[in-house]
Amino acid sequence: MVLSLAEFIEKETGQKASPAKLAKTTGLAVSTVNEALKKEATKSSFGTIVLLLNALNISVEKVAQLYSGKQMTPEKAERIFLAKTDLSRLTIMGTQFSTPENFWQARDTLVDSIYEGLYPDETDLVMLKDRIENKKTSDQLIAELYDEVPKKAEDNGKLS
């Protein structure tokens, strides 16, 4: 099944893309955004696709995967992940950890996630670091998420 770019975005983000917001964020014309969203995901220019998906925080790896039509395998994802890991600096994807123990715990958790098919990104890493470095339990993280959802909805004008 071939998806339009709009369908791909909805699948990745769980919501429909707003052409006006995307145009404002990317600097593209609204007509360009509308045209790209209606086309098959691989029929727009690669540059336009990258601009639109980056504006929605969809990783460049997914852009390349979408464009090439190749599926990411856990092995490929692990190689990409390991290339973004620096033991000497205790960093993963540019995020630094305070101790080797925290670094290895995060690294092992992320590699496990890759082989479970989750392909974690920078946002997942930041949340994991927060959990590990601050010794947060899953219950604490869930409580924070529940507190955050109404705030975001209110900020977006959905709650008054």
Question: pLDDT, tens digit, for every residue of 61-110?
Answer: 776 666 666 667 888 888 988 999 999 999 998 999 999 999 999 999 99
Q: What is the model's pTM?
A: 0.48
Residue 64: per-residue pLDDT = 67
The DSSP element (H or E) to which 102 belongs, if any, is helix 100-115
144 in the same domain as 87: yes
Residue 159: per-residue pLDDT = 47
78 in the same domain as 38: no
115 in the same domain as 89: yes
Residue 116 lies in a domain: yes
126 in the same domain as 99: yes
Residue 126: per-residue pLDDT = 86
Q: Which residues contact 157 (CB under 8 A, 6 or more apart)?
A: none
Question: pLDDT, tens digit, for every residue of 11-22?
Answer: 888 889 899 999
The separation between CA 135 and the C-alpha centre of its own chain, rounded to angstroms, equals 24
Q: pLDDT band at 27, cuts 50/70/90?
A: very high
134 in the same domain as 93: yes
Residue 155 lies in a domain: no
Residue 97: per-residue pLDDT = 95
114 in the same domain as 85: yes
Mean pLDDT over each residue of the chain, to the nearest integer: 82
Residue 143 lies in a domain: yes
DSSP-assigned beta bridge partners for residue 96: 91
Domain boundary among 31, 47, 68: 68
Bridge-based pairing of strands 91-92 and 95-96 is antiparallel
Question: Are 123 and 110 spatial neighbours (Cβ–Cβ below 8 Å)?
Answer: no
Q: Can you give the residue range of the structural domain that contains 33?
A: 5-68
Question: Are 36 and 52 spatial neighbours (Cβ–Cβ below 8 Å)?
Answer: yes
How many domains would you assign to the chain?
A: 2
133 in the same domain as 112: yes
59 in the same domain as 18: yes
Question: pLDDT, tens digit, for every residue of 112-148?
Answer: 988 887 778 888 888 889 889 988 777 776 777 677 6
CB atoms within 10 A of CB 92: 23
DSSP state letter for 121: -
Whether 160 shows a pLDDT value over 70: the answer reads no
Q: pLDDT band at 48, cuts 50/70/90?
A: confident
- The CA angle 2-17-42, to the nearest 5 degrees, is 30
Listed residue (105, 102, 81) closest to 93, CA to CA: 81
Q: How many residues are present in the chain?
A: 160
Residue 22 lies in a domain: yes
The separation between CA 88 and the C-alpha centre of its own chain, rounded to angstroms, equals 26
Q: CA-to-CA distance for 96 and 146, rounded, in angstroms? A: 27
Residue 96 lies in a domain: yes
Residue 129 lies in a domain: yes
DSSP state letter for 86: E
